[in-house]
Amino acid sequence: MLHPIQTIKMISMENGKIKWFDPDRNYGFIERENGDADVFVHGDDVEAGTSLNTGDQVTFELKEGNGRPKAAKVHRA
């Protein structure tokens, strides 16, 4: 069975802080500095060697995948 190709496009570069991140589940949310809706972040989108903790200031690319924004290339600011 063929699967549709998932298209992900970069929207912008943003700043925010980790609202919460669960290392056991490997995901969490970023509270955006501009006040827009929180953004989902998966551990696979965090730069290697970076651990995330609640309250950490981060910089990330905002990408759109499956019609919803998500964080990518996340690193501490």
Residue 72 is encoded by which pair of tokens?
């990518």
Q: Is the pLDDT of residue 12 over 90?
A: no
Q: Is the pLDDT of residue 9 over 70?
A: no
CA distance 50 to 73: 11
DSSP type of residue 1: -
Cβ-contact 50, 43 below 8 angstroms: no
Q: What is the pLDDT of residues 59-73, one digit of tens each?
A: 999 988 777 889 999
The pLDDT of residue 52 is 94
CATH number of 8-76: 2.40.50.140
- Give the chain's length: 77
The pLDDT of residue 57 is 97
Q: Give the strand pairing for 68-76 and 8-22.
A: unpaired
What integer is the mean pLDDT of 34-44?
Answer: 94
Of 6 and 70, more confident: 70
pTM of the model: 0.82
The pLDDT of residue 64 is 81
